[in-house]
Chain A
Amino acid sequence: MTPRHRLTIRSIESDPRAAAIVQGAQQLGIELPHPVDVAVADVIFVEADLSTDQLTTLQRFLVDPLLQRCSWLEPAQRGVEVTFLAGVTDNVAATVRQAARRLGVEISGAATARRIEFGAAITDEQATALVTRIVANPVIERWSTGTVEPTFHAESVARGEAEAIPLAGLGLDELITLGTSRKLALDPEELVVIQRHFDSIGRAPTDVEMETLAQTWSEHCSHKTFRAHIATDDGETRPSLIEMLRHCTDVIDAPFVKSAFVGNAGIIGFSGATTYAVKAETHNHPSAVEPFGGANTGVGGVIRDVLGISHRPIAVTDILCFGPPDTALDDVPLGALHPIRIREGVIDGVADYGNKIGLPTVSGAILYDAGYTTNPLVFAGCIGVADGWAEPAGPFPGDRVVVLGGRTGRDGIRGATFSSLTMDATTGEVAGASVQIGDPIVEKLLIDVLIGAEHLYSAITDCGAGGLSSAVGEMAEHSGADVELSMVPLKYAGLEPWEVWLSEAQERMVIAVPPAHMGALQERCDHFGVELADIGHFTGDGVLTVRSGGLPVLKLSTEFLHDGRPKRQMSATMPTPVRGQHEDREVDDHRLALLRLLSHRNIASKASTIHRYDHEILGSTVTRPLVGRLADAPGDGVVIVEPTKTAGIAIGVGVNPWYGLHDPEAMAHAVVDEALRNVVAVGGDPDRVALLDNFSWGDPRRTKTLGELVAAVDGCVAAAMAFRAPFVSGKDSLNNEYTGSDGERHAVPPTLVITAVAHVPNADVCVTSALSEAGNHLLLLGNTSPEFAGSHLDLVYGEPPSPGSTPALDPKAPERYRRLHQAILAGLVQSCHDLSEGGLAVSLAEMCIGGRLGVAVDHVPSGSLTAALFSESTGRLLVEVAPADVARFTQLMGGAVLDLGTVTDETTLVIPGVGPVSVDDLVSAFQRVVIPAAPEGRAASLDAGRS
């Protein structure tokens, strides 16, 4: 055995990771003795027998004496060391090997570990709790008390052969048992079709074939619910959900839609030859099991979607849904992570990928609800740009099948089927292999190689869920291909053929390359340091053949693979929401209600998260997620305009699952409206807006859950038609459910995220939500009614037994937005903010915070004061207009404005019947420095959202 050396490196200043552990302990309620004595160090292992000089050379490189101390000795202090499980990618270890090579020090292996050291006052039980609850993740890591022995090389022997799975003669029950035991996530009808197919060709399927069919036919890849025939109980006949959305886009027939619902992303072009690729994805299941890796690779995946349609990525978005941070440790079901751990990991994961790959993470939202405790939702979006995009025409027979980027390992196997199953307490263990590990630097290099190489390939797609089986399978759909798995570069030996074929190892793209271009492509890859593997060719014979060492392990007609799946037949029970029933609310203390709303986690400042994302890189972020004098007020949309251009895009997001609990169709209306308001408020053109839909739902095989989904799609279609804003891409993530150890199912509330991308004709006239100058008038656009079901007022004060209706779509909103846009272009608008969660009062407060100015309100909308201030009626915006422009603005709006009052430099928000609230108090509540307590006798939790 080769000897090994270990270098323990400690930071001279206290390591921030130690503080994070202590903070995590506090958040999770793990009691520790004070002062807390926890330290963190890094350990680097090298496998070699090195001289003192060689060790010194390595040490000089690895340790900066101004910042760090180190030791080659075994540590004497009490500690626990955490290292990756064998086979999990260790990027730092790979860098150690690379550095040693550059330094001329020969080593045969490297590994890393984190070392956590504890003071004497911390008991063994406490130390174990810290390591298992906060530090280590058993899905990807192992740990030892004292010191850990690293694994330098993951060793296992693969047979390299496929296994036959006999299906002939099996009864339905036996087929279902087989499907369950192999976690295929296939419907019984699908298993029967597969059995018949292989009966007809007279052989048993191989494991590679079964796994490939399971991935290709998974909910995740084939969207069988969105393509299903659905029988509803409301007497209406509908086409499939996907056809409804597509049809609506066809009918709107917007000239700026270049490609919708085809390929990896939607493509729109507002002016000239510039096109934008837009896409949003979910990465929910992986984020529940391994929050950092799940969110990290969620971002990586959606960036590859944009790259996979030949657009240069320019911005990332993220919408995150978590369980309440104050959930008691005992209330977290067995096998699930605590919401705080999930939140911290997910935010770290999003920040890490976006920051490292060099894209601004610009737009997003964070929502908290008890329904997300075991099922966090991570929506990651990406926008790309191209000049003169033309759809690649291939692949053509004879073109090479080329895999670019990262190597293939055992990471992320069966991700597509995993995410199509309901999770339970054992998911973390069995899904260990489905965790993906991201490497944003490799993906950055992929962008460098592929942007500008469009002339070298005839087709391109990203390698996502299902790995090569999906990427090559989809690309070969109309052609056929013959590939050899032994040509796929592996991270380590020992992978069986089906594992190579299905691995979801990240940062890989598949392209079809005419043989004549292989030389030029290889040169380009060598220049940027990207690995290229030529694994076979496209055939044109309509057959997908996969070989291992020359022997076929999969031979399927592409027709059966892609069109063989029987159409799902489903039934839906449509919801029967309360409509048109205005139920007012009453609060005793409106000032307190405002402050309580501002400090509700859903509304309160997200600054601590936003500042962890680089939103400045590329220099194109003209309107940021945080705005105002001190850059601490929430903006509406963000505006992205390249520094050398005048026109660009605005991005807005709409989401409100609490409406969905009452009325999924109205929710869809409301969130489309919200996304539009957000882009219009910053200067986006309401006549040039494209939409993305992302549904995260529970198990659609429950008829009520499916009915809610159908209703939401109905709402999407109606809203898109009303605004003439077409959907260009979407994604559904179903089965967001968790069977707890209590045997009960926990589903997410129906969550629809709408992303709007709008044309911004002139970056120089964009506005923000921050009040700009005392003396200006503040005008309210839109109508206010007591529509409180699903409102944040109810989240804070509790929902009455008869909540009434959720906010309805305002038919006059589209025209209102058009006129407002003209006013913004004419320079009549000094600031503008939309009204959403918390209604008028919260919007006013946010504008005051932005400008650090006050407002003296003279008039509020008619009706009760509670409705005027806190109703969430849709279609409303607040607009700041200079006194001299009020008449012209009012005329432009067709007279439909309410002059609320004036901006003041008194730094106090004064509303009749409410009493003055200082801007300082607003800021304290918004930043949760002061969290106002609930008045006596009024139940409902401030943080927990739905109780």
Chain B
Amino acid sequence: MSRPRALVISGPGTNRDKDLALAFQMAGADPTIVLASELAHRPTLLRDARLVGVAGGFSYGDALGAGRMLALDLVVGLGDSLNEYVATGRPMIGICNGFQVLTRAKLLPGALGHNAHGRFECKWVVLEPQPTSRSLWTKGINDTIHCPIAHGEGRYVHPDPALLAQAGQVALTYRSTNPNGSVADIAGVCNPAGNVLGLMPHPENFLIARQHPHHQHPDHRGLGNDHLGLRLFRNGVSAAAGM
């Protein structure tokens, strides 16, 4: 089977684009990293893509608020083509800054504010996939996902989180510790159709067992693979392959 074409969208200051491209690659896709400004000039790129990711980082240095300028590139620059992509049901994922971009572009509900403790924080967290979620990205994942967070503006804000959960749009929650004060411990949300996922943590940094902080510990040897972030991307790629 041929590898589905994947795009990793970046902007000036995006910095986890290569990490995300590697995740797509290892999950079976054929990724290309493109600048949002480039997409505007080459509309076929998005038309031919079966899988899209908006990568993490500090696009435009977070000036004026995280993700705002890159969202402007996507909304003003691409016009309706991004909405058209989403409307066809093809999978899209926004991670960290990518999540912030997708909320600003109104492709995902809610907003992301400063961490409650006020600082940038990098550490590993445990994510609980929500069984009631409509997200194609978390489908069939029962074990928790382990991966790092690395953000200063990751506090998820939504006026009615219960309604969001009811609609199956809460895809991932933080287990045991909520690192940033997100409402209802929400770590990731999807659109009503379930093909667009946004999350603050970085599953693209847990693709092989060796990346886990406890991979050397006797209790964890061999268990690492049960908690891989890679599983999310495999879901995305198999959905893309079915398109």
Interface residues of A (CB under 8 A from B): 11-13, 15-17, 19-20, 61-62, 64, 66-67, 91-92, 94-96, 98-99, 102-103, 351, 355-358, 439-441, 444-445, 527-529, 611-619, 622, 624, 627, 629, 631, 641, 643-644, 763-764, 766-768, 770, 772-773, 830
Contacts and interface: CB of A to CB of B under 8 A. Distances in A.
Interface string B170-191: 0000000000000000000000
A99 B72 contact: yes
B64 A95 contact: yes
Given A440-B61, A622-B210, 14 more contacts: A13-B114, A62-B68, A64-B65, A91-B63, A356-B15, A527-B35, A527-B38, A614-B120, A615-B122, A627-B213, A629-B217, A643-B22, A643-B210, A764-B210
Given A356-B58, A441-B60, A67 B12 contact: no
A563 B96 CA distance: 52
Contact of A19 (B35, B38, B118): B118
Counting chain A CB atoms within 10 Å of each CB, the highest count among B38, B63, B211, B214 belongs to: B63
Interface string B196-207: 000000101101
Contacts of A613: 122
B113 A13 contact: yes
B113 to A, nearest CB: 5
Contacts of A17: 118
A368 to B, nearest CB: 21
Contacts, number: 148
Dominant secondary structure at the B interface: mixed
Contacts of A763: 210
A103 B111 contact: no
28 contacts: A12-B113, A13-B113, A16-B115, A16-B118, A62-B64, A64-B104, A66-B110, A66-B157, A67-B157, A102-B72, A103-B72, A356-B15, A356-B58, A358-B15, A439-B61, A440-B13, A441-B60, A527-B38, A528-B35, A614-B122, A616-B148, A617-B15, A617-B19, A619-B19, A619-B211, A624-B213, A643-B22, A766-B216
Nearest to B150: A614
A675 to B, nearest CB: 22
Given A64-B65, A95-B63, A622-B211, A356 B157 contact: no
Contact of B218 (A16, A615, A631, A772): A772
A102 B210 contact: no
Nearest to A351: B120
Interface in B48-75: 57-58, 60-65, 68-69, 72-73
A445 B60 CA distance: 11
B21 to A, nearest CB: 11
Contact of B76 (A15, A103, A618, A830): A103
A17 B119 CA distance: 10
Interface of B: 12-13, 15-16, 18-19, 22, 35, 37-38, 57-58, 60-65, 68-69, 72-73, 76-77, 104, 110-111, 113-124, 148, 150, 155, 157-159, 202, 204-205, 207-208, 210-211, 213-214, 216-218
Given A16-B114, A611-B122, A616-B150, A631 B213 contact: yes
A611 B64 contact: no
Contacts of A94: 63
B113 A11 contact: yes
A525 to B, nearest CB: 13
A776 to B, nearest CB: 10
B216 A612 contact: no
Most central of A94, A619, A622 by chain B CB within 10 Å = A619
Nearest to B62: A356
Contact of B18 (A98, A618, A641): A618
B64 A357 contact: no
Contacts of A617: 15-16, 19, 150, 205
Given A66-B110, A95-B69, A99-B69, A441 B61 contact: yes
Contacts of B13: 356, 440-441, 444-445
A347 to B, nearest CB: 10
A939 B38 CA distance: 67
A61 B110 contact: no
A91 B12 CA distance: 13
A107 to B, nearest CB: 14
B118 A20 contact: yes
Given A527-B35, A619-B205, A631 B123 contact: yes
B120 A612 contact: yes
A529 B64 CA distance: 20
Contacts of B122: 611-616
Contacts of A11: 113-114
Contacts of B61: 91, 95, 356, 439-441
B60 to A, nearest CB: 6
Nearest to B214: A629
A615 B121 CA distance: 10
A67 B111 contact: yes
Contacts of B204: 619
A665 B98 CA distance: 52
A643 B207 contact: yes
B64 A92 contact: yes
Contacts of B210: 622, 641, 643, 763-764
A600 B175 CA distance: 34
B34 to A, nearest CB: 11
Nearest to A529: B12
A312 to B, nearest CB: 10
B64 A99 contact: yes
B74 to A, nearest CB: 11
Contacts of A529: 12, 37
A41 B18 CA distance: 36
Contacts of B119: 16, 612
A768 B214 CA distance: 10
Contact of A98 (B35, B69, B218): B69
3 interchain residue pairs of minimum CB distance: A358-B15, A16-B118, A95-B63
Contacts of B208: 643
A354 to B, nearest CB: 10
Nearest to A444: B13
Nearest to B208: A643
Nearest to B114: A16
A296 to B, nearest CB: 12
Contacts of B58: 355-356, 358, 440-441
Nearest to B56: A617
Contacts of A764: 210
Contacts of B217: 629, 770, 772
B76 A102 contact: yes
A46 B75 CA distance: 23
Contacts of A95: 60-61, 63-64, 69
A66 B16 CA distance: 27
A514 to B, nearest CB: 27
Nearest to A359: B15
A529 B70 CA distance: 14
A641 B215 CA distance: 14
Nearest to A12: B113
Contacts of B76: 102-103
Contacts of B218: 772-773, 830
A613 B110 CA distance: 27
A248 B73 CA distance: 55
A358 B15 CA distance: 5
A92 B63 contact: yes
B69 to A, nearest CB: 6
| Residue from A12, A67, A612, A644 with most neighbouring chain B CB atoms (10 Å) | A67
A356 B62 CA distance: 9
B123 A611 contact: yes
A660 to B, nearest CB: 33
Contacts of A441: 12-13, 58, 60-61
Nearest to A448: B12
B114 to A, nearest CB: 5
Contacts of B12: 441, 444-445, 528-529
